[in-house]
Amino acid sequence: MNVFIGFLAGAAASMGLGGGFIFLVYLSVFTDTPQSIAQGANLMFFLPIALLSLIFHAKNKLIAFSAIKTYGFFGLLGAAAGCAAGMYIDNTLLRKLFAVLLAAVGAKELFHRADRQKNPDGEK
C-alpha cells in the first residue's frame, strides 16, 4: 500500500495536481503518524519533485526569473513561519486546521471550475 500511495502522490505532484495532499492525508488518516511529522515528511517528499519541476520548466522557458526574488523571499519567510508555528501548535489542533485547509481548497476547486475552463492559464 505504501508503494502505491508514494507512486500516486509522485505522479499527481509531477502533473501539478497536489500530490502532497494525497501523501499527507494518507499519513495522517490511515497511519498513526502525528500531523506535524506527516507535514515534515511531505516537505521532504516535495523537494526532489520541486527540483525536477524547476529543471523542466526552466528548460522549456516557463519561469519568470524576475519574480523569483519577491516570491522566493516571501515563500521562504512563510515556510519558516509555518514550521515555527507547527512546532508549537497541538497535534489535534493542527489536524483540524489541516482539515479546514483541505475543505477550503476543495470548495475553491468546486466553485471556480467554470472560470478555469474558460481560461486555462488563469489570466483574467
Summary mean pLDDT of the chain? 80
Q: Work out the average pLDDT over 69-80.
A: 88
Q: Tell whether 17 is covered by a domain.
A: yes
Q: Tell whether 101 is covered by a domain.
A: yes
pLDDT of residue 65: 85
Q: What is the pLDDT of residues 8-21, one digit of tens each?
A: 777 776 666 666 77
Q: What is the pLDDT of residues 80-97, one digit of tens each?
A: 898 888 888 898 898 888
Determine phi and psi for 89, rounding to 5 degrees: -85, 135
Contact of 8 with 22, CB cutoff 8 Å:
yes
Residue 22: other Cβ atoms inside 10 A: 19
Query: What is the domain extent for residue 25?
Result: 2-118
**Nearest Cα residue to 91 out of 45, 16, 35:** 35
Q: Work out the average pLDDT over 26-30.
A: 82
> CA angle 82-6-53, nearest 5°?
65
Q: Tell whether 124 is covered by a domain.
A: no
Q: Tell whether 123 is covered by a domain.
A: no
Q: Tell whether 112 is covered by a domain.
A: yes
Cell (9 digits) for 112: 471556480
Q: Tell whether 58 is covered by a domain.
A: yes
pLDDT(41) > 60: yes
Count of domains forming the chain: 1
Could you give the CA distance from residue 12 to residue 57 in angstroms, rounded to a whole number? 17
Contact of 76 with 65, CB cutoff 8 Å:
no
Expressed in percent and rounded to 5, the helix, strand and coil fractions of the chain are: 80, 0, 20
Q: Tell whether 53 is covered by a domain.
A: yes
pLDDT of residue 59: 93
